[in-house]
Amino acid sequence: MKDRPYILLVDDDPNISRLVQLYLEKEGFEVRTADRGDDAMNVFRKMPPDLMLLDVMLPGLDGWQVLKAVRKSSSIPIIMLTAKDETFDKVLGLELGADDYVTKPFDSKELVARVKAVLRRTQGAEEEKQEGLSFPGLTVSQSQYEVHYEGRKIDMPPKELEVLYFLAAHQNQVFTREQLLEQVWGFDFYGDSRTVDVHIKRLREKLQGSEKYGWCIKTVWGVGYKFELK
């Protein structure tokens, strides 16, 4: 981790921005702020942060639009901030590629702890990850965030790729939904396990016909999922 990790804080509430910025800077982070979605994208393009704290309800582009735009070119960790506490919003954010989700009102100390945990997890994984995994018809590279299947590059959001990589790196081992949430999204994510099912469904759609190569993502009924290699 850098000596001074750089956080981009995007929130249109000046009181929240000032308070969160104060706590983050006290912990040694460099913080830049934006109060509009379009301004956040301008800052992101000029100086990509190590992590983004992103409010959902924003003028200009909303948080979902910013999240989707960032994910087209970057896998930086993103923690969503929102006043909503509905499962649908949490699942939507995670499906679009968010790394964590914090509901307002939140404790600033807890938010800082979440930021540190996500940075540890993502940067630690960056240092430890292998160059790639190869199976008949399939290659998965976390260093380049690319998946090739049957000779074609497959478009895949970061979390889908990370679920695939984790399962493939632990072939023939069964993992529960809760274990996958812990390993891929992190122990500090309090989410709905149904988001795992959504990611698995999309992976299967993109990797149709894998059985002929001797592997597949298999459901172990009543338990969870595994990358089965015969």
Q: Which of 51-55, 89-93, 116-120 has the highest mean pLDDT?
A: 51-55
Q: Residues 121, 219: one domain?
A: no
Q: What confidence category does residue 108 fall into, taking pLDDT thresholds of 50, 70 and 90?
A: confident
Evaluate whether residue 1 is within a structural domain: no
Nearest to 193 by CA among 163, 227, 229: 163
Q: Is the predicted pLDDT of residue 48 greater than 60, yes or no?
A: yes
Report pLDDT for 1: 45
CB atoms inside a 10 Å sphere around CB 46: 8
CATH code at position 37: 3.40.50.2300
Report pLDDT for 110: 85
Report pLDDT for 187: 54
The arithmetic mean of pLDDT across residues 58-81, rounded, is: 90
The domain tally of the chain equals 2
Q: Is the predicted pLDDT of residue 189 greater than 60, yes or no?
A: no
Listed residues 74, 109, 127: the one ending a domain: 127
pLDDT tens for each residue of 192-229: 678 889 999 999 999 999 999 999 999 999 899 999 99
Task: Provide the domain limits for residue 165.
Answer: 130-229
Listed residues 127, 151, 181: the one ending a domain: 127
Evaluate whether residue 210 is within a structural domain: yes
Listed residues 83, 108, 127: the one ending a domain: 127
Q: For residues 72 and 55, give the distance between their C-alpha atoms in angstroms, rounded to a whole number.
A: 19
Report pLDDT for 85: 63
Q: For residues 92 and 73, give the distance between their C-alpha atoms in angstroms, rounded to a whole number.
A: 19
Evaluate whether residue 185 is within a structural domain: yes
- Distances in Å between the Cα of 180 and the Cα atoms of 35, 207, 224 are 34, 19, 9
Token duo for residue 217: 């993502």
Evaluate whether residue 201 is within a structural domain: yes
Q: Is the predicted pLDDT of residue 130 greater than 70, yes or no?
A: no
Report pLDDT for 128: 46
Q: For residues 23 and 112, give the distance between their C-alpha atoms in angstroms, rounded to a whole number.
A: 7
